[in-house]
Amino acid sequence: MSVLVWIEQSKSGPVANSFEVLGKAREIASAMGTQSVAAVVGGDTSVSAAEAGRYGADVVMTLSSPVLADFRLSAYVKALRAAIDAAGATVVLMAATVRGREVAAMLAGELDAGYAPDVVDLRVDGGKLVAVRSVYSNNILTDVTFTSPVQVVSVRPRSFPMPEAGAAGGESKAVDPGVSEGDVKETLVEVKSTDSGEISLTDASIIVSGGRGVAQDPAKGFELVAQLASVLGAAVGASRAAVDAGYIPYKHQVGQTGKTVKPDLYIAAGISGAIQHLAGMGGSKIIVAINKDGEAPIFEKANYGIVGDLYQVLPALSAEFKKRMG
Amino acid sequence: MKVAVLVKQTPDTAELPKVSADDVRSGSVKATMVINPWDEFAAEEAILLGERFDADSVAISMGSPDAVDALKHALAMGVGAAALVDNSAITGGDMWTTAAALAGAVKAEGADLVITGKQSVDDNSGAVYAGVAARLGWPLISAATKVVDVADGKITVERMVEGAQETITVSLPAVVSVGKEINEPRYPSFMGIRKASKANIPATPAGDLGVASGSGKTQWSNIRKPEERKTECVIIDGASVEEKAAKLADALMAEKVI
Ligand SMILES: Cc1cc2nc3c(=O)[nH]c(=O)nc-3n(C[C@H](O)[C@H](O)[C@H](O)COP(=O)(O)OP(=O)(O)OC[C@H]3O[C@@H](n4cnc5c(N)ncnc54)[C@H](O)[C@@H]3O)c2cc1C
Ligand SMILES: Nc1ncnc2c1ncn2[C@@H]1O[C@H](COP(=O)(O)O)[C@@H](O)[C@H]1O
């Protein structure tokens, strides 16, 4: 028995959300009286393995092979199956990123194991794992319990705090991933980085979003949104109306058919607060609405509101925060 | 080539906030049911692939007999045929039960490419397509944004992950789930709707596809509504926009979110 966490790697190193999950895995493992195991899969696993040790994994397992240098689903699933066997893992956790969700689903599907996707909380009740899922597009919560011996969970980013990094630690263990090029089902033709150094919506602690309220001058409107975001170190979000109108690319869309976000602060400028938008950002700690219509539904969910023209309010906020933040 | 597109009947998104915990517990949600919006992208892609590569297409749905409406929507859009997997007699299943039955239906249709939506707006699992792929032993590409080509028994797809765009080739048969960047779903035409309304949609009981009641590996309990957000909004007043900005900044600093 053990609690295993897949430490996902991107081109720039380990994905931070994996360590949020590892922090929780340590709690789960100790409540179950077992060990936490961090599994790093890749061509080069050394940097992420060292990090996983600092974040407190009891065992850091590395599955290294040139075949695993790039992410390919079937190869990574196979390597993780080797890790699960080697660790005797009964609970398998990972961050619910795009890759994390497909790895978790495929792994659970192949093992015929119970799977709880995109969970927002985890606990141990009477020795058993209980996952909390947000379903019906964030309109219903449900506990999920498992009847299978192996239990797979992907965890929504920012559901758990980032643990404190400590001194180097963890027993390290190299495991043969058992993959050869011949069994890999995918050929990777090309990988293009789309990482422009901007903060991602799902990781951001502050988000500034714009909506159709910028219609009068969309370029200017989103420039003002981006300016405030840059002063605050925030990510830029958008409503579907803004995305559909072509003001900003789809990857910025927040909501039911966009991203679910959970920042400490969400500033919505020129967004009316449609149900499908609220479904994606209703979990934010503090919501600020800027809208020229004092009756807009967004004010019913907001903690603070400014009734006014975003073309005036956004620059004033940028100037004010610049002053305060130096 | 034959393309199978998986479509689910789900509550209209505008009515999701009204779905009660009791509805979910009993499995009878009182809402207007429509085709899962994500699956409209899948249906559109199946139609486009049919045109591009001279392929047949079939829409498959598992659900109660009412789910034929989602299938009719797909037919009205232009998908070639439809098949229902009737799960009325199955209880205590989970996403793997659905995946197993759908995999059986895909096999029965003789499809060599499965296109699915990104996720269902009720279960939000993003898992059924992986289960279908796992059961069939086919490769999976998820979050596709473009089908680059289908040639020589292979499919090449672009997809987006955090921070990267990947181009991936796999051999057919395969499963591909699509994101909304992939296309712009068409509205059913008048002619399409007329044709769909007359279509004869065969139904197969899920039990005939090798799934049984109680085969789920997970159970839901303590189903509840999330806590309502505190809705009291402080409207920031001030003589000038600068004054309002300063007051808001004070408030946000006091909340320790900045
Ligand atoms: C299946 C489905 C899925 C959907 N998924 C999503 C989703 O993921 N995300 C999403 O956002 N929507 C989604 N929608 C769309 C949603 O229903 C709304 O249409 C959309 O959120 C509206 O965007 P908006 O608030 O920017 O535009 P509007 O509703 O048009 O609101 C614009 C607001 O700007 C204000 N305004 C105008 N000018 C100014 C100004 N100068 N200064 C300040 N305020 C101004 C107006 O008072 C108004 O309140 C979905 C819909 C469906 C049917
Ligand atoms: N009951 C079902 N019938 C047909 N297709 C389904 C069903 N459930 C899920 N799917 C497909 O699988 C995708 C992912 O669904 P889910 O795993 O429930 O989020 C959906 O977008 C559909 O394409």
Are residues B141 and A117, on separate chains, in Cβ contact within 8 Å? no
Q: Tokens at residue A91, please?
A: 């609970």
**What's the CATH class of domain A206-325?**
alpha beta
Asked whether A235 and A204 are in contact (CB, 8 A), the reply is yes
What's the distance, CA B52 to chain centroid?
A: 23
Strand partners, A92: A4, A152
Per-residue pLDDT, A210: 98
Mean pLDDT of B73-90: 97
* CATH superfamily of domain region B2-209: HUPs (3.40.50.620)
Name the pLDDT band for B145 (thresholds 50, 70, 90): very high
Per-residue pLDDT, B229: 80
Which atom of ligand 2 approaches the CA of B115 most closely?
23
For B10-27, letters b (16+ CB in 10 Å) and e give: bbebebbbebebebbeee
The ligand minimizing its distance to the Cα of A240 is 1
Topology (CATH level 3) of domain A2-183:
Rossmann fold (3.40.50)
Per-residue pLDDT, B228: 83
Mean pLDDT of B170-185: 97
Per-residue pLDDT, A196: 77
Q: Which residues form ligand 1's pocket by a CB distance below 6 Å?
A: A 211-213, 239-242, 253-258, 270-272, 274, 276-277, 280, 290-293, 296, 309-311; B 13, 37
What does each of the 326 residues of chain A score in pLDDT, given as a tens digit?
999 999 999 988 999 999 999 999 999 999 999 999 999 999 999 999 999 999 999 999 999 999 999 999 999 999 999 999 999 999 999 999 999 999 999 999 999 999 999 999 999 999 999 999 999 999 999 999 999 999 999 999 999 999 999 998 899 999 999 999 999 999 999 999 987 777 889 989 999 999 999 999 999 999 999 999 999 999 999 999 999 999 999 999 999 999 999 999 999 999 999 999 999 999 999 999 999 999 999 999 999 999 999 999 999 999 999 999 87
CA distance to A88, A249, B185, B194, per residue, from A137 (Å) = 34, 22, 21, 32
State the residue for tokens 């921070």.
B163
Chain B residues close to A113, C-beta within 8 Å: 217
Closest by Cβ to A135, choosing from B123, B233, B234: B123
Residue A131 DSSP class: E
Please provide the DSSP assignment of B175-239 as one string: EEEE-GGG--PPPPPHHHHHHHHH----EEEGGGGT--TT--SEEEEEEEPPPPPP---EEPP-S
How large is the greatest C-alpha to C-alpha distance in chain B, in angstroms? 72
Q: Where are the domains of chain A?
A: 2-183, 206-325
Closest by Cβ to B168, choosing from A109, A187, A275: A187
Are residues A200 and B163, on separate chains, in Cβ contact within 8 Å? yes
Per-residue pLDDT, A195: 78
What mean pLDDT is reported for chain B? 96
Asked whether A7 and A42 are in contact (CB, 8 A), the reply is no
Are residues B180 and A264, on separate chains, in Cβ contact within 8 Å? no
How far does A171 lie from chain B, in Å, by closest CA? 30
CA distance to B3, B4, B195, B200, B202, per residue, from B73 (Å) = 17, 15, 11, 14, 16
Are residues B139 and A74, on separate chains, in Cβ contact within 8 Å? yes
Closest by Cβ to A188, choosing from B16, B168, B229: B168
How far does A325 lie from chain B, in Å, by closest CA? 9
Q: Whose CA is nearest to atom 14 of ligand 1?
A: A276
How far does B75 lie from chain A, in Å, by closest CA? 23
Please state the length of chain B: 258
